[in-house]
Amino acid sequence: MILAGSAHAETISSQTLMHTPPLDTVPLSVDTFGRVAHEKSGAIAYSWPLVTFSSHFTGSEIWIDIDDSKGRLNVYIDGNIATTLSHPGASRIHIKDVPENPRGGDEHSVSLTRFNETQDSVSRLIAIYAHGASSGPPSMSPSKSIEFIGDSYTVGYGNTSSKRSCTAEELDATTDTGKSFAVLTADAIWAKVQVNAYSGRGIVRNYNGFAGDTLPDLYPYALFDGKTEYHDPTWQPQVIVIALGTNDFSTPLHAGEKWKTEAELIADYEATYVNFVKSLRTKNPDASVLLISYDPATTPQITTVRDRLRAAGETRVDVLEITGFTKNACDHHPDTDDDRKISQTLIAYFDAHPELWPDLRQGK
C-alpha cells in the first residue's frame, strides 16, 4: 500500500485491519454518494468510480477501516487532501494530529472519494471511527444534478499520462476520474454528479469484440457482481449524458461474432440503444438525455437513435458531436487537455440550453 503524505499537519499511519474498534471511539454515521450497497455487517460495498463517503467528527484523530485491494482514494479533512490511499487492501488507516478546522475548533469533516477504475471487483468501507461524532455545520448542496454514462473516455482512462504506451501499473497510476471531463463539467456548472462508466464496454459490442457484459448489462447493478441491484430513489438527475459507441465500432468484426455484417451490428446497436434510453426514462421521468458522439463515423447511428426516440414520443433527447482530440494519454486515449476540451463543449451546450434545469428556471 502507498500512503501519500499530507500537505497539512496530519500524521498518517496504517496497520492490518482489526476486528475491534480503536479504544474509546465511536463509529461515525457515513453518508454516501454514488453507487453503493449497504451490507448487514454495516460495511458499505462499492465498485463504480467516483463513489464518495463523508462524515463529521470531533477531536484530532480518526481511524478508517477499509478493504480495497485495487482502489485509489483521496481522503479529505475539512476539504483538504490529507492522504491518498493506493490499493490499501484490508487496512486500518489512522490519521492523527488533525489541526483546528478553518473556523477554529475541533469539529471536522472527513470524506473519501474513489477516483480510479477497478473492474470486476467489490471493495468495502468497513467503518470510520473517532473519539466523538459531530453533525457538522450546515452545508450548501448544488441544485443541479447530472449523470454521465460511458466507457473509458468517461472514466478518465490513463488521462493524466504524458505518453501513449503505458504498463498496467502506469495505467492504474494515471487514471483519474476526478480529472475527467465529467467531473470538470459538473464542477463548472456546480452540479452533483454520478459517473457510471466502465472501460472497454459498448452498447452491444465490447472493444475488439471481447466477451463480457456490455454497459447496458452492467448498468442496473450497484456492484460488479451481476446480482446486487442499484436502488436509490433520491438520485433523480436532471440531465443524463451518455457517451457510448466507440467500442462498438472502433474495430472490425471478427469471425464468430454474432453479427455477420456491419449493417447487422448497426441495427442491433441502434435498437438496443433506443431501449436503453427508454429504460432510463422509466426510472428518470424528468431527466433530459444528451447522446455524445466522439466520431463523425458514429454520429449517423447516434442521430438515428435520437430520431427513433423522438418518433416514439421522446421530447427531451439530443445529440452532440465532440471531436478533434489529441489522444496523447495511455493507449491513445484523451488526456487532460482533451478532457478540458470536451468539458468546455458541454458547458457551452448547457449554457445555450437553460431549459435543461427546469427547477432553477422556476425558482424552486
What are the cell numbers at 363? 425558482
Contact present, 114 and 223 (Cβ < 8 Å):
no
Q: CA 313, 292, 294 angle in degrees (round to 5)?
A: 145
DSSP state of 60: E
At 25, the amino acid letter reads T
Q: Choose the catalytic residue: 54, 152, 293, 343.
A: 152
- Is 180 annotated as catalytic? no
CA distance 147 to 169: 29
To which residue does cell 442499484 refer? 230
Neighbouring residues of 313: CB distance < 8 A, sequence distance ≥ 6:
none
Cα torsion 335, 337, 340, 342: sign? negative
CA distance 294 to 336: 16
> Any idea how long the chain is?
364
Contact present, 147 and 239 (Cβ < 8 Å):
yes
Secondary structure of residue 105 in the 3-state scheme:
coil
Neighbouring residues of 12: CB distance < 8 A, sequence distance ≥ 6:
3, 5, 6, 82, 83, 93, 94, 95
| Catalytic site positions | 152
